[in-house]
A = this chain, B = another copy of it.
Amino acid sequence: MRGERTDRNGPFLASEALRLGLEPARIVIVGDNPDELAAAMAEGVRAEACLVSGGLGPTHDDRTVEMLARALGRGLDVDEELERRIEAVSRAAAERLKRPYADFQAGVTKQATIPDGAIPIGLAGTAPGLLVEHDGGKLVVVLPGPPSELRRLWPNALETDAFRALLARTQPPGRRVLRFFGVSESAVARALADAGGDGGGVEATICARDFEIHVDLVVDPGAEERAETLEAAMLPPIERWLYSRDERPIEEHVLALLRARGLSMATAESETGGLVAARLTSIPGASDAFVGSVVAYSNEVKEAALGVAAELLAEHGAVSAEVAEAMACGARERLGADVAIAVTGIAGPGGGTEEKPVGLVYLHAEGPEGGVARELTFPGDRESIRARSAVTALHLVRRLLTRTRDEAV
């Protein structure tokens, strides 16, 4: 590939590797250039497992199999059984396309030509997936490029004796997940360092995503106790910002909290333009708790669909704490929801003033026992201001739903 397209195969294979106890060392994406391909293949076959996708087609610039044979120092030969199967697929295609089979003959022979000792693991169209064992138990798995075909043939690779033998030598790591919101990445890093840092079979990664801080502890077998101790030591200074010990996204937490309390929810969105609703409804079964939303982009819609008073808009402006509160209350009433979150702000790049700059956002969450409000100024471009507003809105609903009565939020 030339690299400008999103790669879906790398992330799939990396997460499969992690799940199986294989540590992904690197993902390399190269185009059809033979030298680059040869270099990548030569590096790849040094690993315990090298997973290759694409370049299996019938044409001359599909060079994966040839390059693999060269990297392994093996010969190439036509596999006759494989050739018969590819020929059958090609004859059917020729008939369907009303073209002579002779057009396909060269491609069939090319695609049935595999490295000595390679095991076919199924066909994707006319392209065979392959598995090669080499150097005393190392593996190369060759898979088709189209993501759905790759996913279809991948389980066949796992079922080979050679892959089973490799997996018998791995020890899938444990994983501990900590998710924070409202605390800085550096404060979390410091808490981790003060607690002794990673090492000793525990690898920690800290990753900031739209103001959420995601901490993963990858735990080698035998290091569970070290992980337990590290977690216990790092948590006290930052525990009040901990919102999850699993990987569910915040919208799923919010829906679970609503269900647990038998509450329904709506959103009233201006600046986020439906993003909060779209995130909530991305979760299967959201309709249990989420009833709907008014995206009130214009002031007229704020008045007509949410009942925000024209005087309030005139006095405070659409981007104000007062209007956010009125939007939330309007959504509760008009959409018949127990809980509503309202978002109004300035996502930019235009529309900012000195008094109300780009990035200024007002949030208001209102529930049966009152409301909570936030004023924030987000950095970044339109896309990240909107994304951060949506995430912060969802966290504000979580806060509203988890506060104890009379607790300040």
Residues on A facing B (Cβ under 8 Å) = 2-8, 10-11, 13-15, 17-18, 23-33, 36, 40, 57-61, 93, 97, 99, 103-104, 106-107, 125, 146, 148-149, 151-152, 183-187, 189-190, 192-193, 197-198, 203-208, 264, 266-267, 269, 272-278, 280-282, 284-287, 290-298, 300-301, 304-305, 334-336, 348-350, 379-384, 386
Contact = CB atoms under 8 A, between A and B. Distances in A.
A52 to B, nearest CB: 14
Nearest to A10: B3
A399 to B, nearest CB: 16
A26 B24 contact: no
Contact of A29 (B15, B27, B93, B204): B27
Contacts of A300: 291, 336
A290 B298 CA distance: 8
Nearest to A294: B294
A47 to B, nearest CB: 11
B59 A284 contact: no
Given A7-B7, A31-B24, A275-B278, A285 B350 contact: yes
A293 to B, nearest CB: 4
Given A2-B14, A57-B185, A183-B97, A298 B292 contact: yes
A109 to B, nearest CB: 12
Contact of A293 (B18, B25, B184, B294): B294
A193 B300 CA distance: 52
Contacts of A264: 298
Contacts of A269: 274
Contact of A381 (B148, B273, B379): B148
A301 B335 contact: yes
A276 B273 CA distance: 9
B282 A386 contact: yes
A46 to B, nearest CB: 11
Given A186-B59, A206-B59, A335-B304, A384 B148 contact: yes
Contacts of A204: 61
A297 B286 contact: yes
A166 to B, nearest CB: 18
Contacts of A125: 379
Contacts of A192: 59
B278 A305 contact: no
Contact of A334 (B6, B273, B305): B305
Contact of A382 (B15, B206, B284): B284
A31 B218 CA distance: 13
A297 B290 contact: yes
Given A15-B4, A26-B29, A291-B297, A58 B186 contact: yes
A275 B274 contact: yes
A107 B336 CA distance: 48
Given A5-B11, A11-B6, A305 B294 contact: yes
B298 A287 contact: yes
Contacts of A297: 277, 281, 286-287, 290-293
18 contacts: A4-B15, A26-B28, A27-B28, A59-B185, A59-B192, A59-B206, A60-B197, A103-B186, A148-B381, A272-B278, A273-B274, A273-B290, A274-B277, A284-B349, A287-B298, A292-B298, A293-B294, A293-B297
Contacts of A278: 272-275, 278
Contacts of A276: 274
